Amino acid sequence: MTANTSSSPAPRQQAQDDEIDLLALFATLWDQKWLIAAITAVFMMIGLAYALLASPVYRANAIIQVEEKSPGLPGMSDVTEMFGGESAAITEIELIKSRKVIGTAVDNLDLDIKVEPRYFPVLGRAIARRFAGEENELNTPVLGFGSYAWGGERIKISRFEVPATQFNAVHTLVAAENGFTLLSPDGEALLSGEAGKLIRAEGYELYMPTLHARPGTQFTLSRLRRLSAIITLQETMGVSERGKDSGILALSIEDTEPDRAEEILNVIASTYLRQNVERQSAEAAKSLDFLREQLPNIKKDLEEAERKFNAYQVKVGSVNISAEAEALLDQVVDIESGIAELQLQQAELDRKYTRDHPAYQAWREQMAEQVARKTEFNTRIKGLPETQQELLGLKRDLEVGTEIYTQMLNNIQELDIVRAGTVGNVRIIDDAAVNIEEPVKPKKPLIVVIATLLGGFLGVALVLVRAALNRGIENPDDIEAIGLPVYASIPLSDEQRKLDFGNRRSARQLRKLRNQHPTALLAQRNPTDITIEALRSLRTSLHFAMLEASNNIMMISGPSPNVGKSFVSGNLAAVIAQAGQRVLLIDMDLRKGYMHKMFDVGPENGVSDVLSKRVQLQDAIRPTKIGELFILPRGAIPPNPSELLMSKGLTQLLEAVSVDYDLVIVDTPPIMAVTDAAIIGRQCGVTMLVTRFGLNPVKELEVTKQRFEQNGITVKGVVLNAVERKASGYGYGYGYGYYQYEYKSDKAES
């Protein structure tokens, strides 16, 4: 019981972690929902445009029946069936796709000549396809682009010979008023002429029986190698058997022109049918020649058997044969006839197969079986009287010879008919046909759906990859995990953006805002902004922190530029001064300090001038429009800021102002960029770091902390600045409570 009870929280904790991770994942996607939606919409529009503009592809279909082949010699079908020969359809499929059949279609239809109109990019082909004019009518060029085809053009080239180096090269054919001009791939004129005439020039031959196009219309023309055209057609053609061992073959071919697809498939089917008949006739002729070669020997053996039988009858006279002998004779005759047929088949097998082929093995088994039966019956015949044995043997030879001779004559007649015939074992059941109402490609709904899904997946992947690569801190827990307490989380202020950029909201300006320094003091312009409320909360937290400090000087720094430390310093000083304390804000960023802009004072006569003893401290400190807040600007930019800060003048300056003010806030450069903050921090009672939401990674903050500690400075805490409203991470919950609990006073009604 105890073990079970103690182990139960672990699975619950694991389930809770999984749930949190899943919620964080969905929240991350929700934060970038508009980016995902935009990418999805773009891909959907691309898919829709492709579906509408892509050329439709049509499929022509034809059906062919392959019947069982009749054997060239008697008994051959039994032999092939015994070893289970491969399906005839498999062989016929390869024959249909052979170069001999496909090559005939390439030659007859000039498929090694590729010619098509030149269309306007992207839209031209779709416009031409949708043109439905009268016969011989040409579409009007769009925007005057007369060199492109816009619909209604026709061209037919039945001969195009090129030099050996120009195969597959794309030539340009330009229609003229009464003819055409052929241009080389480099644009040089090769030949000119009229349609319907054979033109020869410089190794080129061109015969074009048909040309109907507007003068100036261009066509692309290229001559393919015959083998390349055959291979291309083989790849686009499909042949399959409908049902196992059905003998029904389905032929198909796809093309953007339905008439061309139908014509190609019909030529292939008819060519295959004709070659099948020729092949059947050739096989019959070979078998016929073989039988005719054997016929004289068979006839001679028959005549010899007849002579011996007649001579024996004359010699011994009439001999009665018993019923048992008659039965044996019939059986022996059948066996001898079978053996004779097998002997004829051996020559046919020798011509077609090797001795190790399964068909040859099956023939050997049949022959061995017949020989064994013959031996058995011969043994039984030896039990008959000698006279009957001799007569039975002669009669057997005569009947066997007669049967073999008769069967051979019948086979010769049958094969003679097959050789002279025009019918093979193949029939065209359905001629090629195309359903022009339903092209097989593109599948428009499917393309749009796939493009939309792909866009959605890519959008989600992009968001997740960006989230994985963005190692900037978004959760205060990550900061506290390295031993730095988070004193406040400051929301990103829309009001500050408006003060700096007006009401413009372009993405370019928002990106600029992220890297540009504020020029207006938000605490003065809009003291009720939620960002200022967050700084008031920070003011309360710092009040207790300063009680433990060695002096009343607080340094505010950051790990890197553009984290908003000057924004925090200026506005924090303002809200503290508004609470009644006497505050001095010192801009000790002697390189890029801009605090003077926020308070509308000049940068001259500042810190650098006091340290250089060019100006007295009292003359450099200036009042601001906020009652008890004073500012000491950076002064002139010195050539050696670090050396200037290491002088005794810095200590004297800070000791002097520490006595005169309740709180001194020192704004310094980022510690990772220069060492100024490490020099100044030794003389400050409190050191605060400002880090920006989603910008600084945890590792960078760790290095910043270590660098301060190496110089004997303890970082009191961190301010997480510019927290953005997000469904994921810290911005949506605790840290962004200022949005949730914003509480403004009602304006008096007038």
pLDDT-derived band at 133 (thresholds 50, 70, 90) equals confident
pLDDT given for residue 382 in this prediction: 62
pLDDT given for residue 517 in this prediction: 62
* Total-model pTM: 0.62
What is the DSSP secondary-structure string of 229-246?
HHHHHHHHEEEEESSTT-
Burial class of residue 725, CB neighbours in 10 A (0-12, 13-18, 19+): exposed
Cα separation, 406 vs 295, in Å, equals 10
pLDDT-derived band at 453 (thresholds 50, 70, 90) equals very high
- The CATH code for residues 476-740 is 3.40.50.300
pLDDT given for residue 473 in this prediction: 84
Cα separation, 276 vs 423, in Å, equals 9
Average pLDDT over residues 49-74: 81
pLDDT given for residue 347 in this prediction: 66
- Average pLDDT value for the chain: 82
Cα separation, 260 vs 266, in Å, equals 10
Considering only residues 228 and 731, tell me which one the structure prediction assigns the higher pLDDT. 228
Phi-psi region of 684 (alpha: psi -120 to 50; beta: other; left: phi over 0): beta
pLDDT-derived band at 726 (thresholds 50, 70, 90) equals low
pLDDT given for residue 85 in this prediction: 43
Which structure tokens are listed for 169? 């090269």
Q: Greatest CA separation found in the chain?
A: 166
pLDDT-derived band at 577 (thresholds 50, 70, 90) equals very high
Q: How far is CA 436 from CA 117, 134, 150, 258, in A?
A: 21, 19, 21, 7
Residue 339 has pLDDT above 50, yes or no: yes
Consecutive H or E run containing 387: helix 386-420
pLDDT given for residue 510 in this prediction: 47
Residue 172 has pLDDT above 70, yes or no: yes
Whole-number percent of the chain with pLDDT over 70: 77
Q: How far is CA 287 from CA 88, 280, 496, 667, in A?
A: 20, 11, 101, 109
Which structure tokens are listed for 133? 């004019």
Domain spans, the chain: 31-54+442-469, 63-76+86-254, 274-429, 476-740
pLDDT given for residue 547 in this prediction: 87
Buried/exposed code over 255-288 (b: 16+ C-beta within 10 A; e: otherwise): bbebebbbbbbbbbbbbbbebbbeebbebbbbbb
Which runs of E-coded beta strand occur in 208-337? Answer: 210-212, 218-223, 237-241, 248-255
pLDDT-derived band at 423 (thresholds 50, 70, 90) equals low
Residue 342 has pLDDT above 60, yes or no: yes
Lowest average pLDDT, out of 416-420, 565-569, 597-601, goes to: 416-420
How far is C-alpha 563 from the geometric centre of its chain's CA atoms?
Answer: 41
3-state secondary structure at position 632: strand
pLDDT given for residue 28 in this prediction: 79
pLDDT-derived band at 324 (thresholds 50, 70, 90) equals low
Which structure tokens are listed for 156? 């037919």
Which structure tokens are listed for 258? 């339905």
CA atoms within 13 A on the CB side of 672: 18
Cα separation, 468 vs 314, in Å, equals 113
Lowest average pLDDT, out of 237-251, 311-325, 357-371, goes to: 311-325
Considering only residues 187 and 336, tell me which one the structure prediction assigns the higher pLDDT. 187
- Tens digit of each residue's pLDDT (9 = 90 or more) over 684-725: 999 999 999 988 999 999 999 999 999 999 999 999 998 887
pLDDT given for residue 500 in this prediction: 64
Residue 15 has pLDDT above 60, yes or no: no
- Range with the largest mean pLDDT of 335-349, 432-446, 493-507, 519-533: 432-446
| Backbone φ and ψ of 711, nearest 5° | -100, 15
